[in-house]
Chains A and B, each alone.
Chain A
Amino acid sequence: MNASVRPREIPGTTLFDGTQARKGYALNKMCYSFNDAANREAFKADEDGYCTRYGLNDTQREAIRARNVLQLIAAGGNVYYLAKFAGIFGLDVQDLGAQQTGMSKDAFKAKLLAAGRN
Chain B
Amino acid sequence: MATLVGGITTSHVPAIGRAIARDLQGDPYWKPFFDSFPPVHAWLDQVKPDVAVLLYNDHGLNFFLDKMPTFSVGAAPEYRNADEGWGIPVLPPFKGELDLSWHLIESLAAEEFDLTTCQEMLVDHAFTLPMALLFPGHDAWPVTTVPVCINTVQFPLPSAARCWKLGQAIGRAIQSWDADKRVVVIGTGGLSHQLDGERAGFINKDFDLKFMDSLIADPTWATKYSIADLVELTGTQGVELLMWLAARGALSDTVKKVHANYHIPISNTAAGLMVLENAV
Contacts and interface: CB of A to CB of B under 8 A. Distances in A.
Interface of A: 7-8, 10-18, 21, 25, 28-29, 31-32, 34-35, 37, 40, 69-70, 73, 78-88, 92-94, 96-97, 100-101, 108, 111-113, 115-116, 118
B85 A83 contact: yes
A97 B173 CA distance: 41
A87 B85 contact: yes
Interface of B: 14-15, 59-61, 64-66, 82-87, 153-156, 194-203, 205, 228, 231-232, 236, 263-265, 267-268, 270
A87 B198 contact: no
B136 to A, nearest CB: 23
Contacts of B64: 28-29, 32
B83 A21 contact: no
A3 B203 CA distance: 30
Given A32-B64, A92-B267, 7 more contacts: A11-B199, A21-B65, A84-B85, A85-B85, A93-B267, A100-B198, A112-B201
Given A94-B267, A94-B268, A84 B60 contact: yes
A7 B156 CA distance: 10
14 contacts: A12-B200, A13-B236, A16-B154, A25-B65, A35-B60, A35-B82, A79-B196, A83-B86, A85-B85, A87-B84, A87-B87, A92-B15, A97-B200, A101-B201
Contact of A15 (B83, B202, B205, B231): B231
Nearest to B84: A35
Nearest to A78: B153
A13 B231 contact: yes
Contacts, number: 133
B83 A37 contact: yes
B62 to A, nearest CB: 10
B196 A73 contact: yes
> Which of A25, A31, A93 has most chain B Cβ within 10 Å?
A93
A12 B265 contact: no
Contacts of A81: 60
A116 B85 CA distance: 30
A85 B11 CA distance: 23
A116 B29 CA distance: 12
A21 B154 contact: yes
Contact of A113 (B82, B194, B265): B265
A96 B269 CA distance: 14
Contacts of A18: 155
A112 to B, nearest CB: 4
Given A80-B60, A93-B267, A34 B85 contact: yes
Given A15-B236, A16-B155, A93 B195 contact: yes
Given A17-B155, A81-B60, A12 B199 contact: yes
User: 7 tightest A-B contacts by CB?
Assistant: A87-B86, A84-B85, A116-B264, A12-B199, A12-B198, A79-B196, A8-B228
B232 A79 contact: no
Contacts of B203: 112, 115
Contacts of B87: 87
A112 B264 contact: yes
